[in-house]
Amino acid sequence: MGVGKEVGARGASEARARKFALKQHVFLVGFMGAGKTTVSRRLSRMCGLSSIDLDSYIERMSDMPIKDIFAQSGEQGFRQIETQALLDIASKDDPMIVSCGGGILTVPRNIEIMKAAGLIVHLRVDVDEASLRISDASTRPLFQDLEAARERLEERMPVYEAESDIAIDTFGKNVGAVAYELRRQLLQSGVLVQTP
């Protein structure tokens, strides 16, 4: 009995310590509030993978919060910096989970960069759920009023759907559930593999 318990305990810790590796980058896209950053962090913790948040990378690169970049250079200026940041990350040899800003697919060049470097995953959300998840809208210059956000999502949704390799509904799901589903689909696609 004692031995059985020990084996059981070892089995459990081995299961926890299972390691995974990515064959390519995985780019998480979707509307603001879809949970790209939190899901990316959770998945990277669950599987021992590297992750990076494109907006945080941009803020470090520019030494300025996103909202100040918008105030200073407008959306077009922000998009130029975003493409440069995406290129930097996509060219890294170590594959990562990359959480992208919600407007990443509005620039066709970004789509080319992502497709050449990895897999695109769409985390689906609607505006009502997104607004509940966004605790501080002041950090999101393009989520200032609900009606404009609805129109923006309607415009972007066909692109998110057409360009993604995997799409996951996040409606009513917590971060853990979305991360598990993402892990399952990445394993199925062969982009995520279990290492011995």
Residue ranges that bind ligand S3P, judged by CB under 6 A: 32, 36, 55, 66, 101-103, 140-142
Name the residue with the smallest CB distance to ligand S3P.
101
Please count the CA atoms within 13 angstroms of the CA of 74 that sit on its side-chain side: 1
Distance CA(109)–CA(113), nearest Å, equals 6
Closest distance between ligand S3P and the C-beta of residue 32, in Å? Answer: 4
Distance CA(192)–CA(24), nearest Å, equals 8
Closest distance between ligand S3P and the C-beta of residue 125, in Å? Answer: 10
Exposed/middle/buried for residue 132 (C-beta within 10 Å: 0-12, 13-18, 19+): exposed
Closest distance between ligand S3P and the C-beta of residue 37, in Å? Answer: 6
Closest distance between ligand S3P and the C-beta of residue 70, in Å? Answer: 7
Shorter beta-carbon distance to ligand S3P: residue 142 or 175: 142
Distance CA(135)–CA(116), nearest Å, equals 34
Contacts of 102 (CB under 8 A, 6+ apart): 29, 30, 31, 32, 34, 36, 142, 156
Shorter beta-carbon distance to ligand S3P: residue 84 or 188: 84
Shorter beta-carbon distance to ligand S3P: residue 55 or 163: 55
Shorter beta-carbon distance to ligand S3P: residue 23 or 124: 124
Which residues are bridge partners to 44 per DSSP?
none
DSSP type of residue 171: T
Closest distance between ligand S3P and the C-beta of residue 1, in Å? Answer: 51
3-class secondary structure, 26: strand
Shorter beta-carbon distance to ligand S3P: residue 64 or 187: 64
